[in-house]
Amino acid sequence: SERYCVIGNPIAHSKSPDIHAAFALQTGQDMLYERCLAPLDAFDATVRALVAAGYGGANVTVPFKLQAADLADRLTERARAAGAVNTLIFNSSGGIIGDNTDGAGLVGDITRNAGVDLEGKRVLLLGAGGAARGAIVPLLAALPAELTIANRTVATADALVDRFTAQLAQDQRLAACAFENIAGPYDVVINATSASLADDLPPVPGSAFRAGTLALDMMYGKVPSRFMVFAGEHGALERDGLGMLVEQAAEAFLLWRGARPETAAILERLRQGV
Ligand code: ATR
C-alpha cells in the first residue's frame, strides 16, 4: 500500500492520520498515513528521505508551509497565489509538486458543511499572513459581493489587496482596512489571524456581526476560541476550523488517490471525539 504522512513540528496532536484513515476505509483505498516530526532545521532532508523511501506524498503543517513552497519543483497556481504549500505530491519520476488545498477546504466547509452560499455576500477576512493569503482566490471564486481584509498591520493588508487586485484583472471586490475602521455588519467573518493560538482576541468590533453572521475561526481546539465566543455574544453562528481541516484533507486525498471522500459523517464523528 502507498504511504503518506503529515510533516510538522510539533505533530503529535495532528488529527490528519485519523481523517485519512477514515477516508481510505470509506473509499476502499489501500494506503497508510502517518505523523512525521521534522526537526526545525531539517525539513528538506525529511522530505527527501520520504521521496527516497517511495512515499506518494505528504501534507505539510506549521511551521513548514513556506519552506514546502520553496522546496517544490513545481507549484500549482493556487499554491503560488498563497505563497504556501500544505500538500506535496511525489511523482514517480522523483519530482515534487506543491499544492495548497487550505482555501478550497475553507470554502467547501462554508458552502457545503455550514450551508452558506457566499454569492453576493459581504465577507470580512481577519489577518494578512499565510493563512489569509491562501483563502483570497478561493473565496473570490465563490462570488461574494465584497471581500474586505482587516489586519493589525494595515500596510500588510494594503499590499495584499494591491497584489491580488492587479493579478485578478483589477477585481474591485477586494478592500483593506484597519480593525477600527471595520464597517459591519458582515454576512461572514473569518478569523485567519494566529491570535487564537495565543488565546488572544483580534480587535474586531462587535458591530462586524449581526444575528446569523457566520463567524469562522480557522483554528480549532477543545474549547471555542475567544473570537468565537465574542462573535457568539454578538449574535453570530460560531464555527471552528475542524470542518476546514477535514475538507482540505479531502482535497489532498483526491489529488493523491483520484477519489473524493464523503466528509459529512467523518466530520460529525470527529466532533463527537470518537
Ligand atoms: P499564518 O501563517 O497563521 O497566517 P502569519 O503569516 O505569521 O501566520 O500571520 C499571522 C497573522 O495573524 C498576521 O496577520 C498577524 O497580524 P500582523 O500582520 O499585524 O502581525 C495576525 N495576528 C497575530 N496575532 C494577532 C493578534 N493578537 N491580534 C490581531 N492579529 C494578530
Smallest CA separation from ligand 1 atom 29, residue: 202
The pLDDT of residue 29 is: 95
- Enter the C-alpha cell of residue 9: 513540528
Return the bridge partners of 90, or none.
96
CA–CA separation, 102 and 216 (whole Å): 14
Give the DSSP letter of residue 241: S
> How many CB atoms are closer than 10 A to CB 179?
17
Query: Three-class SS of residue 157?
Result: helix
- Answer whether 232 contacts ligand 1 (Cβ < 6 A): no
Does 220 belong to an annotated binding site? yes
Contacts of 265 by beta carbon, 8 Å cutoff, 6+ apart: none
- Answer whether 194 contacts ligand 1 (Cβ < 6 A): yes
- Does residue 209 contact residue 186 with C-beta atoms inside 8 Å? yes
Return the bridge partners of 2, or none.
31
Does 61 belong to an annotated binding site? yes
Check for a shared fold between 2-100+243-271 and 103-240.
yes
Task: List pLDDT tens digits, range 46-98.
Answer: 999 999 999 999 999 999 999 999 999 999 999 999 999 999 999 989 899 99
- Does residue 240 contact residue 261 with C-beta atoms inside 8 Å? no
The pLDDT of residue 274 is: 64
Does 92 belong to an annotated binding site? no
The pLDDT of residue 174 is: 97
Site to probe by mutation for ligand 1, drawn from 66, 156, 179, 194 as the one with most ligand atoms within 8 Å of Cβ, is: 194
Domain 2-100+243-271 sits in CATH 3.40.50.150: no
Tens of pLDDT along the chain (274 residues) come to 899 999 999 999 999 999 999 999 999 999 999 999 999 999 999 999 999 999 999 999 999 999 999 999 999 999 999 999 999 999 989 899 999 999 999 999 999 999 999 999 999 999 999 999 999 999 999 999 999 999 999 999 999 999 999 988 888 999 999 999 999 999 999 999 999 989 999 999 999 999 999 999 999 999 999 999 999 999 999 999 999 999 999 999 999 999 999 999 999 999 998 6
Fold designation for 103-240: Rossmann fold (3.40.50)
What's the burial of 111, exposed, middle or buried (CB within 10 Å: 0-12/13-18/19+)?
A: middle
Smallest CA separation from ligand 1 atom 6, residue: 129
pTM above 0.90, yes or no: yes
- Answer whether 156 contacts ligand 1 (Cβ < 6 A): yes
Query: Where in the chain are the domains?
Result: 2-100+243-271, 103-240
Does 86 belong to an annotated binding site? yes
Distance 83 CA to ligand 1 centre (A): 16
Ligand 1 atom nearest residue 127's Cα:
14
- Does residue 44 contact residue 67 with C-beta atoms inside 8 Å? yes
